[in-house]
Amino acid sequence: MGIECQQLEIIPGDSERVVQAGSHLTLTCTYRYVNEYDKRENNISWILPSYLTRNPKSGVEKRLLKTFNRNDTHLSSTMTLMNSTPEDTGYFGCVEILSWNTIGKISQYVYVHSDTTLIIDKMDDKYLFPKFEHRQGESLLIPCKPTHPNVTVSLSREKLSTNGEWDWDNITDLLSQPDSNWAFEPKLGMTLTNPKINDSGEYGCVGKMDNAVIYEYFSIYVLGRMELTRIDEIDDTLQAWLDGSNATFICRTSATSEFPSQPEWAYQIGDDGEMHVLNESNPTGEIRYDPVVYYVRNQEENNSTVIAFSVTLAILFAIGICIAVKPYFDKKRSGFREKVENKLESPIEEQTELITTSYGAADFSK
């Protein structure tokens, strides 16, 4: 942010600076009067980073000192933030206020550096490991930022391995992937665009400087509608399907209840118009069913658990098949399945998604 009013000046006047954690940060802002009315009515107010203004535990009331002085030509104010911490990193500045209206502003970005805190990733101290619940499709800002301009930042993710164990993928930097939906701005943080249920999980914001490496962990819970995707790499053409290529579909959904319903598969063969619910215990010879239920681990103790389902359906030699996914609730006491009605006001927004590929006659035996 630069000067937006020529009468305002901030001292020191650099656009950014680095201070050591534990030191006192001092800034002075001066304003030169334009006329007598300006001299009587003008005031200065200070801008502080969001962590200081939104988080009572920052102790800003006890650490912040401000003085104001007027003379015949200038209005000045000095701000001192004592015992600065890495979490104080952000924009500091002042605004010119005339008759309660903001006329101009000026600011500088201050890195509060510590050798043991190369990055910060939370807006408050509510959770040791921050968690972000977010709606599907809406961009999400993660405030993971470096405390020094020379810190290199990367992003890793914990994944569920094939044997059901959680493990960190420290090789892949999500920020550097060409098709990544992650973007990074050092003074703002990381932005996840168009988040999907598959983006739910545990993440590690990694800061590196010289020989030091620091990890800050956080969780993302993406809640919303079902997602149905095809993950095979064959061409989406008639000929590819006629050649008898395999197709693999994955259905994902999320829930915030302790006992959520798991998606079930239904399929339509040819043009018979009837959807058949897949028998999970005894699927047809052409279909292989592989359910995976994984928990996005919660950092606080309560009665609600965020769960993500990932159900894989592999179709062999698929030709002209419709795939649908519907949520059901298994009523164990009564021994039958009852379809759950859509209730948009509930934590789980259950939808039925249908993908149709009507390329030709079915190759399945009923």
The per-residue pLDDT for 313 is: 57
The per-residue pLDDT for 361 is: 29
Bond prior to 12 in cis (omega within 30° of 0): yes
pTM for this predicted structure:
0.70
| Pairwise CA distance, residues 107 & 240, whole Å | 59
| Pairwise CA distance, residues 18 & 89, whole Å | 9
CATH classification (class only), 227-357 = mainly beta
Phi, psi of 212 (to 5 degrees): -95, 140
Fold assignment, 119-223: Immunoglobulin-like (2.60.40)
CATH classification (class only), 8-112 = mainly beta
The per-residue pLDDT for 188 is: 93
Ramachandran sector of residue 111 (left: φ over 0; alpha: ψ -120 to 50; beta: rest)? beta
The per-residue pLDDT for 34 is: 82
- Closest-CA residue to 220 (of 175, 188, 190, 262): 190
- Closest-CA residue to 349 (of 197, 179, 127): 197
Beta strands in 74-151 (DSSP E): 74-81, 90-98, 101-113, 119-120, 131-135, 140-142, 145-146
Same fold, 8-112 and 227-357: yes
- Closest-CA residue to 269 (of 321, 207, 210, 347): 321
Q: What is the DSSP letter of 72?
A: S
Residue 357: strand, helix, or coil: strand
CB 346 within 8 A of CB 260: no
The per-residue pLDDT for 170 is: 63
CA dihedral 105, 188, 195, 292 (to 10 degrees): -150
| Pairwise CA distance, residues 340 & 347, whole Å | 13
pLDDT per residue of the chain (366 residues) written in tens, 0 to 9: 443 446 789 999 889 999 999 999 999 999 888 888 878 878 888 999 988 888 877 888 899 999 999 888 889 999 999 999 999 999 999 988 876 676 788 999 999 999 999 999 765 555 567 888 888 889 999 999 999 999 999 999 887 555 656 667 666 899 998 889 999 999 999 999 999 988 888 899 999 999 999 998 888 888 887 887 776 655 555 455 545 566 677 777 776 666 566 677 777 766 666 777 777 676 665 666 666 555 544 433 333 344 455 555 555 433 344 445 444 433 332 332 333 232 222 222 222 222 222 222 233 222
Phi, psi of 344 (to 5 degrees): -65, -20
- Closest-CA residue to 340 (of 353, 356, 327, 351): 327
Domain ranges of the chain: 8-112, 119-223, 227-357
Residue 53: strand, helix, or coil: helix
The per-residue pLDDT for 122 is: 65
User: Amino acid identity, residue 51?
Assistant: Y
The token pair that represents 99 in the structure block: 């008759």
C-alpha pair distances (Å), 349 with each of 133, 291, 311: 15, 21, 18
Residue 87: strand, helix, or coil: helix
Rg (CA), the chain: 28
| Pairwise CA distance, residues 41 & 52, whole Å | 28
